[in-house]
A = this chain, B = another copy of it.
């Protein structure tokens, strides 16, 4: 139980079944368990999650505004398809927003921010030193990576910027998961994280921004390459 909580991205208590349905569907779409383009039939989801139809419909409605499912009136839903073009677009948008948020955050961060950032960095680094394990570690890596990036921009005071950054981070994650094994293996992300961390603590915004741009750009390139190859293979 404790183990589950560590890997979960806790978002407050779930008071309703609809919220549960929303979280489950969201995770399964982002992780790829529900394939892009898949038709989401209510009956299928009902039996998959053991929930009623009403909460599932509500969750699908919310996910459609998140642009994770396409909702077509009277014709049901499907998981939003993926494409190379979309991967680039999302990567570029994430770069634009995360860089802006980082710049602001470095300008405004206080001691508390530094401490939380250091904690997040060291937990991530510890894991990255022993990265040659199986799929379980990679799921945990995503979580810690997520927390580190979030800690970097945490001092940004624009709620909308953070909200949109999060949206693009999650969309990007959906693509990252497809090529994650390759990505983790072939480049030294840990080094980039360290550079980000140090530039942030030095309050060197321009340096941090440059590193971040490279960092996100490389991830996007890796994703696009893997994805293009996959599209070709079909």
A residues in contact (CB < 8 Å) with B: 13-16, 18-19, 54, 57-59, 61-67, 72-75, 86, 89-90, 92-93, 96, 100, 158-161, 163-164, 168, 171
Contact = CB atoms under 8 A, between A and B. Distances in A.
A64 B148 CA distance: 27
Given A16-B73, A92-B158, A164 B163 contact: no
Given A16-B73, A93-B158, 6 more contacts: A15-B75, A16-B74, A62-B62, A93-B160, A96-B100, A160-B168
A86 B159 CA distance: 8
B54 A90 contact: no
Contacts of A168: 160
Nearest to A19: B73
Contact of A65 (B62, B75, B93): B62
A14 B73 contact: yes
B67 A163 contact: yes
A158 B61 contact: no
Nearest to A86: B159
A157 to B, nearest CB: 8
Contact of A61 (B61, B73, B74, B90): B61
Nearest to A74: B15
A79 to B, nearest CB: 16
A89 B18 contact: no
Contact of A62 (B13, B61, B163): B61
Contacts of A65: 62-66
Contacts of A90: 160
Nearest to A65: B65
B159 A89 contact: yes
